[in-house]
């Protein structure tokens, strides 16, 4: 999903981990975290999957300031065996998958500046920790993330990483889940963004379609703006089951024979929750 990786910095280990150097964050850095946290903590109840709020709670993420990864890992490990490790930023895919497959989530240590609170071009510590870590405290989602990492390592052998990356994009980053009282957010790219937390649920522009593994792995995505499609799962168990019970080798063969699906297309077989007007996307293209 991300094309260019910098060289491994001299201070990083072979697996790209670095010390978090928590004591080096400035008062401004901590204030940025607190501002973003307060904003999302107010916005998300009722919009986000309850498992995410439970995760914030059990991991005590409301404690002021940027979390110390060692403290966070201690609580998380007791719950689900996951750890949070510090990395300089984006890491190469094989390194990323190797961490996930071993229940380590690589989180960037950098935090955005106070003048770029809503839009960032690379994932920072707020996106990585606030967005991704709460659901790692949920046993089923925790298993899904590991299964994804294991699948990622296998996808490298098939040269199919860009197909598998679509699964990550449309679930872990931008997924919606059907709740008892309507659609809920769970993707980290959505829940860590004030504006997309509103857009993904309320805006008439995007399509909201039922999740189907093959369909998702055929569908292009955009990295430069709000999504034009969101895919809706029934439960985290559905996501884990389909990942564990699919033989990805034959699926990659099948995908190689099928055309990619353009971003905003709705197919006859899609389970349509909302058919988008695409008005927002059109206004941005104009
Ligand atoms: N590195 N730090 C970091 N965070 C990511 O989310 C990430 C990455 N490297 C590769 C990657 N994501 C994706 O390419 C894969 O899931 C497909
Ligand atoms: Fe992310």
For residue 173, the CA-to-ligand 2 centroid distance in Å is: 6
pLDDT for res 90 = 92
- pLDDT for residue 10: 87
Give the three-state DSSP class for 183. Answer: strand
**pTM listed for this prediction:** 0.96
pLDDT score, position 271: 98
pLDDT tens digit string along 207-258? 999 999 999 999 999 998 999 999 999 999 999 999 999 999 999 999 999 9
- Pocket flag, ligand 1, residue 1 (CB < 6 Å): yes
**Comparing C-alpha atoms, which of 57, 51, 89 is closest to residue 75?**
57
* Distance of CA 127 from the midpoint of ligand 2 (Å): 6
What distance separates the 2 farthest-apart alpha carbons in the chain? Answer: 55
196 CB near ligand 1 (under 6 Å)? no
Q: What is the Å distance from ligand 1's center to 1 Cα?
A: 7
Q: Is the CB of 90 under 6 A from ligand 1?
A: yes
To 5 degrees, how large is the angle CA 251–CA 254–CA 256?
110
Q: Which stretches in the chain have pLDDT values below 70?
A: 1-4
Question: Cα separation of 143 and 56, whole Å?
Answer: 18
Kindly give, in sequence order, each residue whose CB lies less than 8 Å from that of residue 239, ignoring residues fewer than 6 positions away: 141, 144, 171, 211, 233
Cβ atoms of 56 and 62 within 8 Å: the answer is: yes
Supply the pLDDT for residue 1.
46
Atom of ligand 1 nearest to the CA of 161: 17
**Which pLDDT score is estimated for 118?**
83
CA of 242 to the centre of ligand 1 (A): 21
The 3-state DSSP class for residue 212 equals: coil
Residue 3: the pLDDT is: 54
Nearest CA to ligand 1 atom 7: 90
Residue 96 in contact with ligand 1 by CB distance below 6 A: yes
């Amino acid at each position: 999903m991300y094309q260019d990786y910098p060289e491994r910095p001299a201070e990083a280990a072979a697996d790209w981990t670095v010390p978090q150097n928590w004591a080096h964050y400035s008062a401004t850095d901590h204030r940025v975290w607190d501002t973003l946290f307060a904003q999302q903590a107010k916005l998300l109840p009722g919009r986000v999957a309850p498992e995410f709020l439970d995760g914030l709670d059990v991991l005590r993420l409301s404690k002021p300031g940027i979390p110390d990864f060692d403290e966070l890992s201690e609580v998380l490990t007791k719950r689900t065996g996951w750890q949070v490790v510090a990395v300089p930023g984006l890491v190469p895919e094989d390194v990323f998958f190797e961490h996930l497959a071993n229940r380590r989530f690589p989180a960037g240590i950098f935090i955005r500046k106070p003048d770029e609170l809503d839009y960032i071009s690379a994932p920072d510590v707020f996106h990585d920790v606030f967005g991704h870590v709460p659901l790692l405290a949920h046993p089923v989602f925790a298993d899904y993330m590991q299964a994804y990492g294991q699948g990622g390592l296998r996808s490298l052998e098939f040269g199919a990483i860009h197909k598998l990356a679509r699964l990550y994009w449309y679930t872990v980053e931008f997924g919606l889940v059907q709740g008892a009282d309507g659609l809920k957010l769970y993707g980290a790219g959505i829940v860590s963004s004030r504006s997309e937390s509103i857009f993904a649920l309320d805006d008439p522009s995007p399509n909201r379609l039922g999740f189907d593994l093959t369909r998702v792995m055929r569908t292009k995505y955009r990295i430069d703006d709000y999504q034009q499609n969101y895919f809706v799962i029934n439960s985290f168990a559905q996501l884990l089951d389909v990942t564990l019970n699919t033989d990805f080798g034959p699926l990659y063969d099948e995908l190689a024979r099928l055309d990619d699906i353009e971003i905003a297309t709705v197919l006859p077989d899609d389970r349509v929750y909302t058919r988008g007007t695409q008005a927002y996307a059109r206004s941005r293209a104009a």
